[in-house]
Chain A
């Protein structure tokens, strides 16, 4: 029996590390989500939950880049999300012609991401000098400024919020953006910039002395992270069709933090697991009413005590690791065996 499972596991590993795994997975998932939403295979409630799962994965993976991989502590992720949400919504409601919205929607989402990443660039600057707690405060203050700034702009509804968006966020779009964000952040992590990000977490001074341009790396991490937070915000706004500044306050940021640290820091698989578990658990526990909100933080505390790095902390599922990295050491050994005098 144990052999049976081992066999399956090995097969899965072989399949999941195959070079066509990702393209096939992407095509199949996209096809499924298009079919599912077009022919009502999944009921609307289930679709909505899947949409939230996707959005939360984007938020979690992107925050994990800064908090898990880089080891900084950003508590203002909801602020970037808000900027993306408002930018995209303003574009689809006030700027883009109503007839072409379906085609221009991706553009609105990208614009939301770009707007958020421009702000991310500004938040990256204090990170040159300060780290840890003080950077946490900077991001916190930033989140608060965004929220109370939005509340004071009457044109976009002030504290009452902004509405009028069409329901443009569909399952296929969410799937597309989720896979894209996971893929791009995975790519970043397994590159020289990703190693720079990790080495900053481990020892910033040593990293700088090992030729890592720490400022450049920090800017890239913050910009990419906030870009995808903005994307998630845009998708969120067009799924809910209504936004107000309070949706993006510190509680939202805490939610994202919980997903990151539940799933596990510095792990893409962990981010996905964290986002999925948290989103679904919140839905399942809905009948508990307010007590669900009592239970969730309690679980978080227990998790931190017994598994402080989260479920996947610092580990990665094999199929997120590029083949080159997965096989590097193995191939090297083989090469040396074939030509034993090469290393001598």
Chain B
């Protein structure tokens, strides 16, 4: 059974078709890239998977469970986590609290226990705090645990966002343009980093990216979107030489 299956997904905004009849399958452990020109509907696909938008038509199955109609936090709890194209950290919260917030779905204590700071609250909060710090130390962010997120340098903010997503304990991680604003050297590091978290946390990853170097370097399979429709799928090497893709996407870049 595929980990994620999107069947005939169509999504319209007031008549504008952002994603048209999109079909997609993902097996456990894969690292797939979604590429395409600006406005091709890539981020919309992420928003549909994570429940930010509700698909106009079609269904999405994750481990065999339907995702369409579920709220974002339910979907996150089922094991899908994501980052954002333009970093969306909780800026005025500390680095530690950014990560601890993401344990919301996991903590089981009730509101009453929280109001009285009793029972399961004490046990679980200690555990959550420890695990958050552990996660931060894996990302070498533990020294900045009490800094406000907005005071971190850009690169660390990107890292923190991934750490926060991993705190929800996902099987599937969606990375939305993780290399935005990075130089070639940093991209190289990011490639290693993505490979490493994939192995360490046993993740299946979908990646949206513009940086060809990154996509071609680490993705095992590519999906090319243009105007909301899939125009090609396959191995990076095949995509590179696909005339349709060259025309829609790479051609554009070559012309520059």
Q: Which residues of A contact B (CB under 8 A)?
A: 184, 187-188, 190-196, 198-199, 201-203, 205-214, 220, 224, 314, 322, 324-325, 328-329, 332-333, 336, 343
Q: Are B96 and A328 in contact (CB under 8 A)?
A: yes
A188–B121 CA distance with the chains assembled, in angstroms: 11
Q: How far is the CB of B20 from chain A (nearest CB, A)?
A: 24
B-chain residues with CB within 8 Å of residue A212 when the two chains form the complex = 73, 101, 104-105
Task: Type the 1/0 row for B186-223, where 1 means its CB is closer than 8 Å to any CB of A.
Answer: 00000000000000000000000000000000000000
Is the C-beta of B106 less than 8 angstroms from some C-beta in chain A?
yes
Q: Which residues of B contact A (CB under 8 A)?
A: 50, 52, 71-73, 76-77, 81-82, 84, 88-93, 96-97, 100-107, 109, 111, 114-117, 121, 125-126, 128-130, 133-134, 137-138, 142-143, 145-146, 164-165, 167-168
Q: Are B125 and A191 in contact (CB under 8 A)?
A: yes
Output the nearest chain A residue to B103 by Cβ-Cβ distance: A192
Given pairs A208-B76, A209-B76, A210-B168, 12 additional interface contacts (CB within 8 A): A187-B114, A191-B117, A192-B100, A192-B104, A198-B97, A199-B93, A207-B90, A209-B50, A211-B104, A324-B126, A324-B129, A336-B142
Q: Are B117 and A205 in contact (CB under 8 A)?
A: no
Name which of A184, A206, A224 has the most chain B CB atoms within 10 A of its CB.
A206
Report whether over half of chain B's contact residues are helix, strand or loop; otherwise say mixed: helix
Output the nearest chain B residue to A327 by Cβ-Cβ distance: B129
Q: Are B90 and A211 in contact (CB under 8 A)?
A: no
A241–B150 CA distance with the chains assembled, in angstroms: 50
Q: Are A314 and B92 in contact (CB under 8 A)?
A: yes
5 A-B pairs with least C-beta separation: A211-B105, A191-B114, A202-B90, A208-B72, A329-B145
Q: Are B129 and A202 in contact (CB under 8 A)?
A: no
A1–B109 CA distance with the chains assembled, in angstroms: 49
Contacts A192-B104, A192-B109 given: A205-B52 contact, CB under 8 Å? yes
A29–B224 CA distance with the chains assembled, in angstroms: 69
A190–B116 CA distance with the chains assembled, in angstroms: 11
B104's contact among A205, A213, A343, by CB below 8 Å, is which? A213
Q: Are A336 and B129 in contact (CB under 8 A)?
A: no
Name which of B107, B111, B130, B145 has the most chain A CB atoms within 10 A of its CB.
B111
Contacts A187-B116, A188-B115, A336-B137 given: A329-B146 contact, CB under 8 Å? yes
Contacts A196-B101, A199-B93 given: A205-B88 contact, CB under 8 Å? yes
A333–B144 CA distance with the chains assembled, in angstroms: 11
A203–B102 CA distance with the chains assembled, in angstroms: 13
B115's contact among A184, A209, A324, A329, by CB below 8 Å, is which? A184
A194–B90 CA distance with the chains assembled, in angstroms: 13
B-chain residues with CB within 8 Å of residue A199 when the two chains form the complex = 90, 93, 101
A198–B115 CA distance with the chains assembled, in angstroms: 16
Output the nearest chain B residue to A210 by Cβ-Cβ distance: B102
Q: How far is the CB of A341 from chain B (nearest CB, A)?
A: 13
B-chain residues with CB within 8 Å of residue A208 when the two chains form the complex = 52, 71-73, 76
Query: What are 6 A-B contacts with C-beta separation under 8 Å?
Result: A188-B114, A191-B114, A191-B115, A191-B121, A191-B125, A343-B138
A250–B244 CA distance with the chains assembled, in angstroms: 64
Q: Are A203 and B111 in contact (CB under 8 A)?
A: no
A297–B134 CA distance with the chains assembled, in angstroms: 49
Output the nearest chain B residue to A195 by Cβ-Cβ distance: B101
Q: How far is the CB of A125 from chain B (nearest CB, A)?
A: 16
